[in-house]
Structure 1
Amino acid sequence: MITIQTDSCRYAIGTNGQNLAFVDLATGKDYCEPAQASMMVGRGKDSWPSSAVALDGDALLVTFGASGIKARVKVESHPRYFTLSLVQVTGGEPDWMQFVNLRLKITESVGTLLNAGWNSEFAACALACNDRTESYGASGAYAHLCVRAHAKYGFEGANVAVLGVPRPALLDAIEQVELGEGLPHLMLNGVWIHRAPERFASYLMVHGLGESNADQVIELAKGGFGCVEFYPWRDTPTYRFNPGLFPNGLDGLKQVCDKIHAARLQVGLHCMQSMVGWGDKTDPAITPKADPRLLQDQHGTLAAAVDAQATEMNLKEGTEGWPDTGDLFVDGEIVRYAKKTPTGFAECQRGVFGTTVAPRPAGTRVGYLVNCFPIWGYTIYCPDVETGFVDEISERLAGLFDATGTDMSYFDGGEELCKQPPHWRNVGRVALGVQTRVKKPVILEGNALYTNLSWHVVTRGSPHYDPIYFGRREYTLRFKGQQPANHAKNLLTGDVGWFTPHVHSLTTDAVTPDEVMLLCLKAVGHQAPISFTMNAANPWDNRRMPEMLDIIRTCDYLKRVGYFSDAVRTELTKPMAEHVLEQATNGAWQVRPMAFGPSKVVNATRPELAEWHFQNPHGDQAPWLRIRAQPQLAPYGAKENIVLADFAAAVPFKPERTASPDLTQSVDPSSEKTPDGAAAFCYRAENKGKAASEWTELVLSYPAPQRLTTHRRLGVWVRAEGKGGILNFQLAGTNTQHPRRDHYIQLDFTGWRYVVLDPPEDSRFWNYKWPYSWTDLFYTCQSIYNETNELRLYYNGLPPGTTTCWIGRIEALAAQALPLQSPALEVQGQKVVFPVAIQPDEYIEVDWSGAARLFERDGGLIRHVSPEGGIQFRQGDNVVRLLCAGGTAASTRAEVTLATRGEPLPNQPPQSSSGASPETKPGPAQLRLAPTPKGGFRLTEGPYELVGREPPHQVATFDGTANTWTVDNDTQTPIRAAIVVQRGAGGPDVDYDTAGAVSLETFDDLSGYDVSETNQFEKYATGGGKRLTKDGPVQDGVSQTFVSSADAPRAGANCGVYTARNEGASGGWGAKGRRFPKPLDLSGYAAVAFWLHGDGNGESLRFQFWDVAGRYADWVVPISFTGWRLQVFATSDAKNFDWKQVEYVLFYYNNLPANTTCTLKFDDLKALPALRTPPVLARPTLLVNGSRFDLPVDLGPGAALLLDSRGHCSVWQPGGSTGSEVTLQGLPFTLKPGPNRIELACDTSKPAPRDVTVRILPLGPAGPR
């Protein structure tokens, strides 16, 4: 027997080559599994175990049976570990040698990356000490420490450190290995990086952060995060700077990083490792001459010379084994072929990505460029790891990190290294390359960068996938909330993210604070950071973001101070467990268990859908609840519905495939009719297995995509036999995103049943196996209602035997946007009524205190609600019923979510952390104006943004008409309101009526805008999906008209009315334009201006002039307003444009919302000789129902005035975070029931601004609060 011993363990190997013992010296327990070879060798398909081991001084002499292979392995013992180093391998030419093969009786925690396993007493681990050594765990179920060396990289010098230590000493022992064996040992602020507190900081991932908006982003990040992580790059792998974000290059990036550091936040840079071509394809590694070090996995030579116009290329060697399509490297030119022939490539696109096209002689080497990220239409190349390319990239990144003082980085990508096996040697190359070069190591996590060797430079484990779009709560419970536990097995800090505060869309509801609470409490339990993504251009689009920031900030504080005991944190980390965080009256934080949902879509007028059961496992209490209004659906068979499948003539579904040969399916016409008399078909499946089945699949493909944006819910008659299983009706798209939408029917009934398939499945997917990816349903589903190409039917979970269903006509039901009137819930004879009308997708939320609020779909607070009555849930089963006012003008459908909570979990916070921290103590809910990144202000009341329902009123002129309007109070009682008077951002201004102005277009006659031989404006209208119609160029799915109308013009007799209807996806466009009879000379004019009437739909208007040389002057107007506004554009904005020869004018819709009609009006386009200083709004007067309020202020551009119902008035300057109080003359006011007359006047003896907006926002019932 040969014994290797440290201070804490003993490893014994028999002379027969087998492991004998691996003993914890503290307890005497032997963890070794008997009868296993200590080492092995392999060649080709053959392998041999060690057959004899002898000790020769400090080395083991190992023999491997009849293979003829022998090895010498040096042994060194240290206090907490021992090393095994290959000195020599002789005989037999093996491919590999496994010189640690140690299977242990440890199952409690196993980390295959770190190659470690432990229980509460003892830990074992094997660490590779160089890049000739592969260390891996062979099983996730038990500790099986395996270490190999490979002939390809050289046997001699392969080295491993094996640890067997008490569990609490494992991390200390690993640090000793790093120091003793020359492994990377990174220190951050004097602390080993694997213990550095900086690794716990939650980070805000910001898209679009740049020099111009950094201040606003930093201010937001200070509200809840410890790090700002962003992507400043234009392209990879050169990592040049995005000029749109950082026009000053590295200097600009350094200034932004300095600002982040000054705010005591970490700087995080998002990188794509060594991916070639992520983002802009103008990287020097790609164009104009592609780098020859790009990875190519097939090679050949041109059989004949080709000229620069050739679209076919033949190889001397032929193309057997080459892919059917792809990109070729031909002496620096990238050539994309669409067809492979036996001898070459056809339908070639030359000079892809701007590479130089040139004649190529016979014999030119041709390589196939490896695309490491072909999903969703991407093309990303790889650097060949056998060249010095990866080292150059690592050097570049390290220099950028040093120059900016980077603290943290997310290394995305890595697929370019995964394409180049072996994984253990190559995947961590960039991580090791950067971290061993930087002056200060960074907190590092990422995508594909984890190996046993790179563990030493990586600090955190990756989150569980990207931000999920649909089905978020279930995904957090199943995956994101459990991911840190997976990484803890490898002694890495987890990351409970990525998470995005999505806004409402056709395919998802906006994120709400309870979702963020769930995420953050999982992070508290795991002592892990969260990663939260947002766009710098619209950080407040989800209007409940301030509440979410409060939750994130509070939870990060509680993590930082170790507020909760191990017992509480263990409860928080339990799979599928939900909790709620609250602050007690004494300021202490506490956690309660919570029963949340599931959400139910109910219909008050259908008895079988009006009531449901809620199981309350906790004590009697009033619930937390949310009632979200749903649109009314047309009845089955209504003419406005869309028939997706009809079986009157034939069965359009075709059997596609099944999960196994034991599962067969068939479809047949049926003589049986549905209860409404329509044709049905018979869908039969036979499960010949002994257990519940997996899936069967039918497919119906449409000749043209179905557009279901107003028909998102399905109705169908189904007859079942009550045998069990599910029937899945799936909407499917065929674009590169593969969007899908599932709808399940539980086959637990007999006879016919009419089923409205609502809502789509967001949780039960995980209970079954399917032939498609979960990402199709929950990550890339956004476009499914815009383009449905297929309807698929699936069986799943069928019992053994035959299952038959009869299925009637399948309809997509038309939705009507009707309000839910006075919804009520009834439980056990108790009832609570909410006396409000709720528009579809708006929702009432009642918090744990009983306060009720009405929110719009993106979380803006419409008003406070005073419920009538109340309900109590008893412990156990509760039957809940939805009630509401009926009528043909109301919806009776709602989604209801209920929650109850248990008693606080016992906890003893640390002495230094008892009570509320200054960071988290809430302030008074006072009204204030908060600046937005795009200019302007949000009206907030505590953490809530007030939005109301009344659109902002635009005051373009003070003529007694435009500045007078009415506001309706649709309640039966007076309500308090706030009034915001706001100026525009202060763009250029002109005297529009000056005698020196020249009229360019009156919009009285628009015949000149028709496409013709003389008016070829369409050549200047560019964009994806372009098609030319009789009404001009549009994107596919868009139709448009441009007419002259006498309906409410702004000037003269007529105005131009431009209407566009987008039936396609969001982002549609269209254009109208005309050619001037002869080029105009506008060189003597300082501005152009026209009146524009907005519709507030969120689209953009692009306004252009084109000169005779094909250059353009270009402006974009976001249509976030309604009513008339004067648009003024300085001619000096257009660089390199010839104002002496203006040939065309174009009006161009951009960013048309999906399923929306947009209408803009235009009046009197003029050229103006001079600009003027924008006037102030001088001493405005506000009249509310005759009550006069004289406001003793002058409002300049970008400023705003806030007036509440109690007479408090404050003035807010552009970007200002605090408002200055002014004295208000007059009495407090309220809005009476019905219409209220509002007038804004000002001192008209001076020029008045045209950019004044007035918002009236209800606060709640009148009276003290």
Structure 2
Amino acid sequence: MKKINGRCWRLTAGITICTLLTFNKQAHAQDITLGTRYSSVTINKNGFITSIRDKQTNREYNPKGLSSPLLVLEKNGKNVFPARARFQGNQLKLNFPNGAIAMLKVNQEQEYLRFELLSLSPRNNTDNIIWGPYKTNISKTIGEILSVVRDDNFAIGILALNDNTTSGPPCNGDMYQSCYIIHSPDPVKYPLPADLKEGQRFRIGGDGINDVAFYSHPEEYYRYMNGNGASLEPEYGSSIVLHSRDRKKPYTIFYPHFNDFPGIKSPRHMELTPVDVDYIGSAIAFYACPDSLGLKTIEQVVKKEGLPYITRNGKWVKDPSNYQIDIAWWGPHDSLVSYASQLGLKAVQDEGLGEYYTNPANRWGDKHVTLNQQKRPVSDLTALTNKEGIAYGLHTLTEFVQPFSSDVHPVPNQGLCTVLKTHITNSIGANDTLIQVADTSYLNEFGGWDDNKVNVLRIGNELIRYKGVTTVKPYTLTGVERGALKTNGAAHSSGEELAKLQVNCYGGFIPGITLQDEYAAYYASLLHDGGMNYIDFDGFESFTYQGHGQYSFKRFLRGMFDHLEKMGVPYLRVMGSCVFEGNWHYMSVCNVGGGNNMFDPVNNKWGIEGKDVRYSFNGSYFPSTFGIQNLQPGWDVQVIENLQCKSVAWDATYMLGLSQEAVEKRADKQAIFKAFRTWENARSAGVFESALKKEMQEERNRYHLEQLDNNTWKLYPVALDGSLGTPMILKRGKKTS
């Protein structure tokens, strides 16, 4: 793990801005062209982008006849666009029709353009500033997580350079609403039926009870959208957008804006807790480059701007050469290190210990490893794994707070996330159930987004369950249960604050935006003391409950990594249940889901969830996944080769599910391990070229791989009857037939 610095305020590298600007004699009132080594961007006198041009091919990527505002002001859902733009040195002055003036600092780096908002005056109660949306004529690949759009030749994207600049346009809770859109990845191979059209939107299926419920369309032209940082625009191509919010202001939003399940009757109101964060200082990197250089360009931005830059073995975890297979482990741990070493794998997620919930009063709970038939502390196992360079970690439930954790009883933490706050209007004794409130304050909106009917109020140090509230004065709570969740009933005075707690989908609670800072420190301490350098943040979406969207992810993860750095933890492998713009920088893998819902290695077929995740992740330069693939009794060596082959072909990660019991029952254990390790060695050696990978992706194509020495492999095509065809020789650095 490299040091995570704050924002980096750099002057233009290598060449001054004046030499790269092009304009005529009246510089302040004319079009201005900015440049990088790959592209040029023209901004007109009104502050709109009118050209995005590839310098090498001279191809124009701005849609003909259209333009995009460089910066937009937003208040109460209404946008104010710039009216005039003037350069003053390396600063750009934008005038808006409402009288506001925005001062931007502009830097032209070799790989990207850097824009930063220095000031806005008068603010006119502006809620958000919006970078874009920037229109492009690219439509093939929509990277909605990372605000990037791509075709076979070129990529155009914007990257947030500080934590309060986040993906997408302003919306409720600063989170997208998951959906399907119609978008064929290959109109020739996957033509749309007559009743569908490009860009058409559909709600996601199911009820959200499990992963599979989110994914319901096997057709390749149904594209699951995991974000709104980039959007398909059938009329002209696509658009990309970021925004930054004034979080010092209170807002009332609808929660949730995301998870658009048909079973959700209506969203709930939520009053956001303000935090001391503003949009002044918001900064972005705008890059336009050959797609083959897209990820490397992002890496340069990350390094130059002091963004989180996580490395392992001296390489960025986003580098495809760092993609690796992990182990999902169940049962006793005696053979764990041996199996991992034989397979050549360096990361283990312990699924057998069950889901870990944070509980400050009893942080380890019943989590113990089993060695030599004895229960031992986790640190006893990590003392063994760390010696072998094997990252080991727990499967956590992130910020989901159990109803009976020490943050809930006997005294509820004042920092638990709230939906609303009002006050009682009558004094009550410890056992009174007649409680009157100042206003209904949405108290009749039940439960959380999954409508779980959990309704809990906090008055002082007491938790109260209730069912609803009357709608005429005096507003009176109904179905009251005093001293809920093992808290003590107490007397309360008229005027005392009453807060409704935010509940999670498991019927528990959530830390508020400031309490989660303590959770970041808690997790860092847990990992350090357990000797762990791997964590699976299942329930990663728990950071959305506070209503601050991607900012909440960034705040928590930056805090946790800062604590780990101070503790001397050199590396942390992060996995989670979902990839968002807020956690993209920190995550190594996202091996969500499992089994044939993700990928069927017997028949080499993608499942519905696997297909949807693949399109979304790959579009934003993140590895797709096969999820957890448990070693099945019916699998033979060829199935293991299929699994490894397709993983290499698609640059997909996964977790191989193992236990001592499952492995030791197999008579072919050594053959299974040998076949797996052969592919793993070849993957590490980088012997598979892109053309070969594309061939290997085809479902019908199966292969057998043999290792001749440390630098040479022999790849055989395998016919349906199991016979081997003519081999291809693969070598480090080159390929020969």
TM > 0.5: yes
Q: Provide the C-alpha distance between the structure 2 equivalents of 1:47 and 1:395, rounded to a whole number of angstroms.
A: 39
2:623 counterpart of 1:493: yes
1:678-717: per-residue Cα shift (whole Å, max 9, x none)? Answer: xxxxxxxxxxxxxxxxxxxxxxxxxxxxxxxxxxxxxxxx
Indicate conservation of the 8 Å contact 2:591/2:653, yes or no. Answer: no
Mapped to 1, the partners of 2:654 and 2:133 lie a distance apart of 38
What SS is found at the alignment partner of 1:88? Answer: strand
AA matched with 1:433: G
Letter of the 2:731 partner, please give it.
Answer: P
Which aligned pairs between 1:317-328 and structure 2 lie closer than 5 A? 317-318=439-440, 320-324=442-446, 325=453, 326-328=455-457
Matched, 1:565 2:701: no
Shift of 1:193: 3.3
1:358-380 deviation line (CA, Å, top 9, x unaligned): 4545444332221222xxxx223
219, 230, 234: which is aligned to 2:350? 230
CA contact (8 A) 2:468 2:478 kept: yes
Pick aligned residue for 1:13 from 25, 43, 53: 43
Counterpart pick for 2:586 among 454, 457, 466: 457
Report deviation, 1:126.
1.3
CA distance in 1, matches of 2:534, 2:596: 23
Q: Flag the structure with higher strand content.
A: 1
Residues 1:315 and 2:441 are matched in the alignment:
no
Deviation at 1:265, TM superposition (A): 2.4
Letter of the structure 2 residue corresponding to residue 396 of structure 1: Y
- What residue in structure 1 maps to residue 299 of structure 2? 175
1:24 and 2:54 equivalent? yes
Query: Is the contact made by 1:301 and 1:316 (CA closer than 8 Å) also made in structure 2?
Result: yes
Q: 2-side partners of 1:163 and 1:81: how far apart?
A: 5
- The one-character-per-residue Cα deviations of 1:990-1035 (angstroms, maximum 9, x if unpaired) are xxxxxxxxxxxxxxxxxxxxxxxxxxxxxxxxxxxxxxxxxxxxxx
Counterpart in the other structure of 1:411: 537
Output the CA distance in 1 between the equivalents of 2:118 and 2:438.
46
The residue that corresponds to 2:730 in the other structure is: 909
Q: Which amino acid aligns with 1:146?
A: V
| 2:76 is aligned with 1:44 | yes
The aligned amino acid for 1:21 is: S
2:363 alignment partner, one of 237, 240, 252: 240
The 5 A counterparts of 1:212-611 are: 213-224=332-343, 225-230=345-350, 235-236=357-358, 238=360, 240-243=363-366, 245=368, 252-277=377-402, 281-309=403-431, 313-318=435-440, 320-324=442-446, 325=453, 326-338=455-467, 341-342=470-471, 343-373=475-505, 378-385=506-513, 387=514, 389-439=515-565, 440-448=570-578, 450-451=580-581, 454-460=583-589, 462-467=590-595, 476-480=606-610, 483-484=613-614, 486-501=616-631, 518-533=642-657, 539=662, 546=669, 552-574=676-698, 577-583=699-705, 589-590=714-715, 592=717
Indicate yes or no: 2:155 matched with 1:123: yes
Coordinate RMSD, CA, aligned = 3.9
- Given the superposition, is the C-alpha separation of residues 8 and 235 from structure 1 closer, same or farther in structure 2, using an over 3 Å criterion? closer
User: 112, 126, 145: which one pairs with 2:240?
Assistant: 145
Structure 2 counterpart of 1:147, one-letter code? L
What SS does the aligned partner of 1:401 have? Answer: helix
Q: Determine if contact 2:598/2:609 at 8 Å carries over to the other structure.
A: no
**In structure 2, do the counterparts of structure 1 residues 431 and 571 end up closer, same or farther at CA, with 3 Å as the change threshold?**
farther
C-alpha separation between the residues in 1 aligned to 2:645 and 2:91?
Answer: 52
**What is the DSSP-based 3-state SS (H/G/I as helix, E as strand, rest coil) of the residue aligned with 1:274?**
coil
Once the two structures are TM-superposed, the CA of residue 585 in structure 1 deviates from its matched residue by 12
Paired with 1:53 and 1:296, the residues of 2 have a C-alpha distance of 43
User: Which whole-Å CA distance do the structure 2 matches of 1:904 and 1:478 have between them?
Assistant: 32
Check 1:534–1:368 CA distance in 2 against 1; reply closer, same or farther (3 A cut). Answer: farther
Partner residue in 2 for 1:70? 101
Shift in alpha-carbon separation, 1:476–1:138, aligned structure 2, 3 A = closer
Tell me the percent identity.
Answer: 18
Change (3 A) 1:567 1:175: closer
Contact 1:237–1:275 (Cα < 8 Å) also in 2: no
Determine if contact 1:289/1:355 at 8 Å carries over to the other structure.
yes
> What are the ranges of 5 or more consecutive residues in structure 1 without an aligned counterpart?
504-509, 596-622, 624-847, 850-902, 916-1265
User: Which of these residues, 120, 130, 146, is aligned with residue 98 of structure 1?
Assistant: 130
Per the alignment, in what secondary structure is the counterpart of residue 160 of structure 1?
Answer: strand
Higher helix share: 2
Residue number in structure 2 paired with 1:1221: none
What is the CA distance between 1:293 and its match in structure 2? Answer: 0.8
The one-letter amino acid paired with 1:204 is I
Q: SS of the counterpart of 1:214? A: coil
2:329 to 194, 206, 209: 206
1:1040-1068 deviation line (CA, Å, top 9, x unaligned): xxxxxxxxxxxxxxxxxxxxxxxxxxxxx
Contact 1:116 / 1:143 at 8 angstroms: preserved in 2?
Answer: no
Q: Using the TM superposition, name which of 284-293 and 475-484 deviates more.
A: 475-484
Q: 2 CA distance for matches of 1:338 and 1:463? A: 39
- Displacement of 1:351 in angstroms is 4.3
Q: CA deviation at 1:74?
A: 1.6
Counterpart Cα distance in 2 of 1:558 and 1:517: 12
- 3-state SS of paired residue (2:463): strand
Query: Per the alignment, do residues 47 and 185 of structure 1 end up closer, same or farther by CA in structure 2, a change over 3 Å counting?
Result: same
Distance 1:76 1:264, change over 3 A: closer
| Residues 87 and 113 of structure 1: CA distance in aligned 2, closer, same or farther (over 3 Å) | same
Alpha-carbon distance change, 124 to 542 in structure 1, aligned in 2, over 3 angstroms: farther
Normalising by structure 2, report the TM-score: 0.70
2:680 maps to a residue whose letter is D
**What is the letter of the counterpart of residue 358 of structure 2?**
T
Q: CA deviation at 1:156?
A: 2.1
The residue identity in structure 2 corresponding to 1:909 is L
Structure 2 match to 1:84 = 115
Q: Deviations over 1:44-76 (max 9, x none)?
A: 343233332222222222233x43333222211
CA shift, 1:408, in A, is 2.7
Question: How far did residue 163 of structure 1 move?
Answer: 1.8
Q: Distance in 1 between matches of 2:144 and 2:628?
A: 24
Partner SS, residue 584 of structure 2: helix
Q: 1:556 to 1:545 in 2, by over 3 A?
A: same
Distance 1:443 1:140, change over 3 A: farther
Give the direction of change, closer, same or farther, for the CA distance of 1:289–1:50 in structure 2 (3 Å limit): same
Distance 1:420 1:282, change over 3 A: closer
1:520 and 1:905 map into 2 onto residues whose CA distance is 20
State how far apart, in whole Å, the 1-side matches of 2:687 and 2:282 are: 45
**Equivalent AA in structure 2 for residue 177 of structure 1:** V
* Equivalent position SS for 1:215: coil
Q: Do the aligned partners of 1:482 and 1:573 also contact (CA within 8 Å) in 2? A: no
- Equivalent position SS for 1:288: coil
Q: Distance in 1 between matches of 2:437 and 2:632?
A: 51
Q: Secondary structure at the match of 1:47?
A: strand
Structure 1 counterpart SS, 2:563:
coil
CA distance in 2, matches of 1:283, 1:97: 39
| Matched ranges for 1:1251-1262 at <5 A | none
Distance verdict in 2 for CA 1:333–1:176, change over 3 Å: same
CA contact (8 A) 1:106 1:117 kept: yes
CA contact under 8 A between 2:466 and 2:478: conserved in structure 1? yes
- Residue 513 to residue 911, structure 1, CA distance change in 2 (3 Å): closer
Query: In structure 2, do the counterparts of structure 1 residues 168 and 299 end up closer, same or farther at CA, with 3 Å as the change threshold?
Result: same
User: How far off is 1:264 after superposition?
Assistant: 4.3
Aligned length: 585
| Partners of 1:44 and 1:95 within 8 A in 2 | yes
- For 1:270 and 1:442, the matched residues in 2 are separated by 14
How high is the TM-score relative to the length of structure 1? 0.42
1:427/1:449 contact within 8 Å kept? no
Instruction: Describe the shift of the 1:402–1:81 C-alpha distance in structure 2 as closer, same or farther (beyond 3 A).
Output: same
Is the aligned partner of 1:107 residue 2:107? no
